[in-house]
Chain A
Amino acid sequence: MSEPCYTIALIGNPNCGKTSLFNLLTGASQRTGNMAGVTVSGRFGERVHRGVRLRFVDLPGIYSLSQNRVEERVARDYLHDTPPDLVLNVLDAGHLGRHLALTSQLLEQGVPLLLALNMLDEAERNGARPNLEALSAALGVPVLPSDGRRRTYVDALFDALLQAVQTPRQPEPLQIDYESHIERLLKRLQQAGLERWQAVRWLESDGDVPFSCTAEQLAQAQQGLAEIVQRHDESPAELIAEGRYGWVHAIMHHIDLRHGTRNGLDERLDRLTLNRWLGLPLFMLALWAMFEATFVLGAVPAGWIDSGVGFISQGVAQLLPDSLLRDLLVDGIIAGVGGVLVFLPNVVLLFLFMELLEQTGYMARATFLVDRLMSSVGLHGKALVPLVMGFGCNVPAIMATRTIEEPRARLITILVNPFMSCSARLPVLLLLAGVFYPHYAGSVLFGIYLLGVLVALGCAAVLSRLLPSHYDETFIMELPPWRIPTLGALLLHLWDRSRDFLMKAGSVILIGSMLIWLLQSFPRDGISWIEQLGHLLAPLFSVLGFGWQETVALLSGFIAKEVIVATLAVVYQTSADDPQALQHAIGAALPAAAGLAMMVFTLLYMPCLATLAVIRRETGSWKWAGVSLAMGLSLAWIMAWLTFRIGSWLL
C-alpha cells in the first residue's frame, strides 16, 4: 500500500529560523545525512498530514544560489539534480530587505514556491510587520505566517503545503529589469537557447553553473561578459545584484513596508558584549561560568546515576550464580553502559549552554571576538567553542563543530579537538600527579592542560598548511539579532542531542567494553589475552619508562579514558576503591620521570573509541579517524619520550 509522498525542500538565509521551523514541522523524526559527498549536512524528516506523507529536506542556510560557497553549491545542486515537489522559502519578516533577494532567484527559476515568514512578532515590535496578503499578491506565490518558535501557525502552514503539492502549478518565471547592457546580453543568450534564469545565473556565477551550455552559448556569454567588464566599473555579478535589490526595494515599496528600527536593547547589549576592551574578558567569564556550572551541576545527577548503576550491578551480582554470564553482565555490559550514562548529565548541560549561546546570538558575537586569535593558527573564530567544550568531552565538542561552515577549518577543528584534555582523562592525571608530585599536583595538572592546548594550536597551524583550501576562507559573518530562546525549541534540541549521544556513543562503548572484558577474562586459566598483549607491546613503551601494566592500562583506555585507572588497579592487584594502595604500588614501580611521561602520553595518545566513532561520522570517512589516531599516537610517543628523557636528566 503506497500512500502519496511529496518532497518539500526548506531554503532560506542563515539566521532566518529555518532550522527551528524544520524541527517544528518534522517533530523528532529527523535524521542528519551528508549530502552529495560533502561535509555540509542536509537534514531529512517526515510528517504525515491528512494521510499524505510529506518529506522535508532542510538545506543549508544560504544568501544566494549562485556563489561558490559549499553550502550554496549543495543547495543549488540539490534543486537542480532532484527537484523537490515544492520549495518552502523561509524568511525573516524583520529583514525582508535582504531575505527577498534569494526569493527573487527562486522566482526567476520558476520553481514551485511557498513563502513562510518567520519572526513576525519581532518585526512587529520593530514597527515593520509586512502585510502578507499584499506580499503574496505582489509575488504571485502563497505567503504564510510561520514561527519556528511557536505552534500557532503550523496547522495552517501544513494545509497550505498540502494544497500546494497536491495542486502543483508552475508559476510564471519572474523577470527583473536589469541594467541595459546586462539586458542586451541576456536577450542574446536567450536567443542562443538559454532560459532567462539560466543566463542570469551564468553571469552571476561567472559560468559556474549546474546545467550544461553549448559551445555557442558559452562563447556568446564569455564575449558579452568581456564587453561588460570593459564598459563598467562594476562586475556583472554586482550589476545583477543591484537589479535584484532594486526589485526587492520596489516590492517593499509596493507593499508599503518600511525598514524596521533596531531595538534599543539590542544596541545596548552589543555595546557591552562587543566592547573593544571588555568584550573578550566578558565572554571568557561567561565560558568559565558555563564550564563550572556544567561540572558542578552535572555532578549531582551523575552521582545518582553512578549509585543507580552500582545498585543494579550489585543486585545482578547477588541474584545470579557465579558464572561467565554474570561476569559479562556485571563487569562488561553494566559497567560499560553505566560508564556512558554517568556522562549524560554533563553532556546535556553542556549542550544546553551551547544551545543558549547559539540561540541568543551570543555565539556569533564571541566568534567575532576571537576570530583574530584563531585565524593566526589557521582556525576559524567559530572553532573556539568546540575547543573549549573539548575540556568536557570530545564527543559533543566534535559534534559542535557543525557550526563551522568552511569544511577545511571544521576538519582541522575536529582533528585537533582530542588534544583538549577531556574530563575522562582527569582521574588518570589526578592519580599520577598525586603519586609523583604530591606538592605541586595543581601546577602539574595546569601544565598538562596547557600542553594540550598548545599541541592543539600547533597541530592546527601545521594542518592548515598541509590541507588544501577549497576556496578562500574569508570571514564575512552576519551578526544575528539578540533573541530569547523558547523552552520548547531548547527541549527538542536537548532531546535530539541526548538521544544521539546515547544511541551512537552508547552502542560503541557497549561493544568496546564487552571486548575488553573478553580480553581481560580469557583464557580462564593462565595469563589473560590483554596481559599477553601488554607483554607483547611492552618493548615499544619501555623506552618511555612504562612497564607492561601501564601498557595494558593505556590500551584499555582506548575504550574510554576512565578505564585506565580501573585497569591499573586490576593489574597492580589493588582495589579500585582504595587509591592509596594503588598510589603506593605505582610509586614503587615507576620513576617520577616515567610518571610525568605517562601523563603526557595519556593526554595526547589517542581519541577514545566514542571520539573516533564521532570523528568518522562527522567527517564522513574512516580516513580522518585514522589520521587522528596516527597523529595522536606518534605525537604522544614523541612527547612522552622527550618528557621521560629530559625528566630523567633533570630529576
Chain B
Amino acid sequence: MTLCDLKPEHRARISGLSGPQSLRQRLAALGILRGQPVSLHAMTFWGSPRAYTIGQQQLCLRNKEACCIEVELQHE
C-alpha cells in the first residue's frame, strides 16, 4: 500500500520510494526515507493534499506525490 491509502488510525513505516528521480531526490533530502514512521495528520476538504506526520515533522503532500511513497502497516 502507499501513503494515499493510510487511514487516520493507521500507524505505518515507509518501505520504499518510487516515481521520477527528481521527486525521490527531493523526498530523500527531506528525510523521507525507508523505515521512517508515518501517520495521517490532516486531510483537506478535497482529500488532496493531505498532511502526514513523518518522523518528527508534519509534511503536506498532494496525493499524486504521496502515492509514490510505499508504506507497511505496523500492528501494535
Contact = CB atoms under 8 A, between A and B. Distances in A.
Contact of B51 (A205, A277, A368): A368
A159 interface: no
Contact of B16 (A234, A260, A474, A479): A234
Contact of A238 (B33, B42, B59, B61): B33
A238 B30 contact: no
B54 to A, nearest CB: 10
B34 to A, nearest CB: 7
B42 A274 contact: yes
A146 to B, nearest CB: 21
B26 interface: yes
Contact of A471 (B22, B28, B33): B22
Contacts of B51: 274, 368, 479
Given A233-B16, A368-B51, A274 B59 contact: no
Interface residues of B, number: 35
Given A97-B55, A274-B51, 19 more contacts: A63-B29, A98-B31, A98-B55, A204-B25, A234-B34, A237-B21, A237-B28, A241-B28, A274-B41, A276-B44, A279-B45, A372-B46, A375-B62, A474-B65, A475-B60, A476-B27, A477-B60, A479-B58, A479-B59
B31 A372 contact: no
A558 B49 CA distance: 41
Interface string B14-53: 0011001111111111110110000001111110110100
B60 A476 contact: yes
A276 B45 contact: yes
Given A234-B16, A259-B56, A372-B49, A279 B33 contact: no
A220 interface: no
A68 B61 CA distance: 18
Interface size class of A (residues with CB under 8 A): 35 or more
Given A238-B28, A245-B31, A476 B41 contact: no
Contact of A472 (B22, B28, B58): B22
Interface of B: 16-17, 20-31, 33-34, 41-46, 48-49, 51, 55-62, 64-65
Contacts of A245: 31, 33
A277 B45 contact: yes
Nearest to B61: A476
A280 interface: yes
A322 to B, nearest CB: 65
A241 to B, nearest CB: 4
Contact of B26 (A69, A478, A479): A69
Interface string A525-546: 0000000000000000000000
Interface string A366-379: 00110110010000
A95 interface: yes
Nearest to A246: B33
A234 B61 contact: no
Contacts of B34: 234, 238, 242
A164 B26 CA distance: 33
Nearest to B18: A233
A614 interface: no
Contact of B62 (A97, A241, A475): A475
Interface in A162-219: 204-206
Nearest to A261: B56
B57 A478 contact: yes
Given A97-B31, A241-B33, A472 B23 contact: yes
